[in-house]
Amino acid sequence: MNSLIAMRCGKKIIGMKKDDPLKPGRRCVRQEDGGGREPGPRDEYELLDSGDGRKYERFGEFKLVRPCAQAIWRAGKDSSQWQDAHATFDRTSGNRWRMETRLPEQWVITVAGIRFRLSTTDFGHLGIFPEQKDLWTWIAAMVEKAKKKTGRSVSVLNLFAYSGGSTMAAAKAGAEVWHVDASKGMVKWARENAGLNGLENAPIHWIVDDVNRFLEREIRRGKKYEAIILDPPTFGHGPRKEIYKIEEKLSSTMDKCRMLMSDSPAFILLSSHTPSLTPVALANILRSATRDFADSCIEHGEMLLAGRTDDVLPVPNGTFARWFRKFLSEEKP
């Protein structure tokens, strides 16, 4: 395989030559740092410290400690500073929260310009994955660029959509969004987040369904989308007890997504919290699914949690790969 390897703006770029028989048109693969840049002044999430298998975070006014298997280094701050946490989630003696200060049943924070309702859960989650915040910014920028380029609305399909961070980012940028998740409770949570962001009347379609069954139905209908976002779970259940195992189902899911892309596709964003799915693995899945797309570019990297100061080590918390039309990277929003 003929390729060109170069450094541009600190990024490793692998560009396929035009005569590569497997890759029609222009293609490139870029390794990105993947997110987690220092929080902006309006962000109400902050990584305070990490290490010894835990992470210390601030969500609005509340400081929380939660398990973090990838934080295998020593904590950077003295243990006395960790003791300022309002609550700690513990898995060593059963999943439970230990409250130093009673937390409200729910509270609201803003991250990347998007408002989220947070609440503690039995799994230690809060209703937000802040490591995705740079991806939300990227989604908004790509939707705006695609709208400017085509002069029309962009249809976005968001699969395994959780509490709707990507849905809000796309809708705020003016896209029509199909939000799909197998959990009725999470779809309700996402709709509440839409209300917090003034998107009650935005063109968002809320769908509770098994993702693969939904995709098959859309294929039969001849539906097409300009952009698809998906963050599949390592293991999950559909509303009818369907089982989703990412190692077994992801390639099939991507094949179905490819069949739903319009004749003028804008982007595909694939992210994962499955440890075995490295950035290169996700990029390979996208390359396989988009091998017949011309004028293509794929970027891949790690999703990171980050602090506000240099002494706070970034925490890798998932991976991503994204395919997009190369001309969109050159278009100003």
**229-286: per-residue pLDDT in tens?**
999 987 565 666 566 676 667 889 999 999 999 999 999 999 999 988 999 999 999 9
pLDDT band at residue 14, thresholds of 50, 70 and 90? very low
State residue 276's pLDDT score: 87
Is the Cα torsion angle 108, 87, 97, 79 positive or negative in sign? positive
State residue 250's pLDDT score: 86
| Whole-number Å distance between alpha carbons of 111 and 128 | 9
Q: Is the pLDDT of residue 315 over 70?
A: yes
Domain(s) of CATH 2.60.40.1180: residues in the chain: 45-118
State residue 243's pLDDT score: 65
Q: How many residues does the chain have?
A: 333
Spatial neighbors of 331 by CB under 8 A, at least 6 apart, are: 145, 148, 149
Q: What is the CATH number of domain 3-35+132-330?
A: 3.40.50.150
State residue 263's pLDDT score: 92
Query: Which homologous superfamily is 45-118 in?
Result: Golgi alpha-mannosidase II (2.60.40.1180)
As beta bridge partners, residue 267 has: 227, 324
Residue 123 structure tokens: 């799994």
State residue 150's pLDDT score: 85
Question: What is the average pLDDT across 44-53?
Answer: 97
The CA-CA-CA angle for residues 297, 254, 167, to 5°, reads 80
Q: Does an H or E element contain 292, and which?
A: none
* pTM metric for this prediction: 0.86
State residue 330's pLDDT score: 64
Q: Which residue bears the tokens 């048109």?
A: 25
Domain(s) of CATH 3.40.50.150: residues in the chain: 3-35+132-330
The mean pLDDT of the chain is 86
| Whole-number Å distance between alpha carbons of 43 and 248 | 37
Q: Give the pLDDT confidence of 51-104 residue by residue, as tens digits.
A: 999 999 999 999 999 999 999 999 999 999 999 999 999 988 777 899 998 999
